[in-house]
Every structure is written in C-alpha cells, then in structure tokens.
Structure 1
Amino acid sequence: MGDRWQVEVDRSLCIGSAQCVHHAADGFRLDAGRQSHPVEAEADANEKILAAAENCPVEAITITLLGSGEAVFPPEE
C-alpha cells in the first residue's frame, strides 16, 4: 500500500492561475471566485498532485504525509 497525502490550498495565497487544474485536473477544482481547492483533502500519493504543487506560482499548495505530518511539498529546508 502506498503513501497517503493530506493536500491543502492556502486560499489567502491562491491567485487562481489554474496551474493545479492543468497539472492535476482530477485533484483540484477552482470555485466561482477562481480559488483552488483539492477535490479530496486526502489522496493517494501521485505525480500529478505533486506536479500541481511544484508548479503553483505562489506555492499555495502544501502536501504532507497522513499520519506523520512530514512535509512532502514544499520540502523542509
């Protein structure tokens, strides 16, 4: 069984660029105000969601491992 992630979008940072939807259409949606939100707060680890986080121009998406809370993205410095 693979890792499970907690996926969050900081709406105070989100600028509605839709890069998350472009990279992971099944993982993110924009609401009427063009603010992003994950389709599911908990998701199986996958490259599309990670690509969405990595390509967010304002780094509004955070991903942590469920259970441990260890940072997946952005990586801890």
Structure 2
Amino acid sequence: MAAPQVSPKNRIVVEVDRALCFGFGDCVDTLPDVVALDDEQKAYVIDPDAASVDDIAEAAQNCPVDAIVVTDEHGEQLYP
C-alpha cells in the first residue's frame, strides 16, 4: 500500500490505524465527507481536505480508541 500523501489544502496527513479501529463510526458521523466505513466496518480516509484541520483534529480526539492519527506536512504528530 502506498504511503499516505499530504493533503493539498490542509497540508496534513490523516491515517486510520485499522488494528485499533472497532468501527464505532463516531468519525463518520462527525465528518462523513472525510471518513467512511468499509465492508469490514473499519474507518478509512476519503478526503482529508473536506473539513478544516480543527474539525478533523476534534474528530480524532473523539475516537474512543484513538485510531485516527493526524500529522502535519513535516511528519509532526498533531493527534493523538
């Protein structure tokens, strides 16, 4: 699988740790244009530019298992 790319607008990388994701769907409820659930009920990123960085960080913070990792364009982890 290819390494995630820095989003052109927000200049961040949003990743979901599939080993941690239980498919609760809080992220999808909050950011349906950014994250979706696949057939295994695991979250995956659709478009990291479809919401503001603040909204994405908030959704990551609301993940009950901290499965969403947000880093800036330099690789510095913003959350968790």
Shorter-chain TM-score: which interval?
0.7 to 0.9
Moved over 4 A (4+): none
Read off the aligned partner of 2:18 and give its amino acid letter: R
* Contact preservation (8 Å) 1:19, 1:56: yes
Which of 55, 71, 74 is the equivalent residue of 2:77?
71
Number of equivalences: 71
Q: CA RMSD in A?
A: 1.7
Provide TM-score, normalisation by structure 1.
0.81
User: Partner of 1:52: helix, strand, or coil?
Assistant: helix
| 2:47 equivalent to 1:37 | no
Judging by fraction of residues, say which structure has more strand. 1
**CA distance, structure 2, for counterparts of residue 37 and residue 3 of structure 1:** 18
Read off the aligned partner of 1:71 and give its amino acid letter: Q
Stretches of structure 2 lacking an aligned partner (at least 5 in a row): 1-8
* Contact preservation (8 Å) 1:4, 1:45: no
Shift of 1:3: 4.6
* Contact preservation (8 Å) 1:16, 1:34: yes
Shift of 1:45: 4.7
Q: Deviations over 1:3-36 (max 9, x none)?
A: 5110000000000000111111111000011000
Which of 50, 53, 58 is the equivalent residue of 1:46?
53
Provide TM-score, normalisation by structure 2.
0.78
Stretches of structure 1 lacking an aligned partner (at least 5 in a row): none
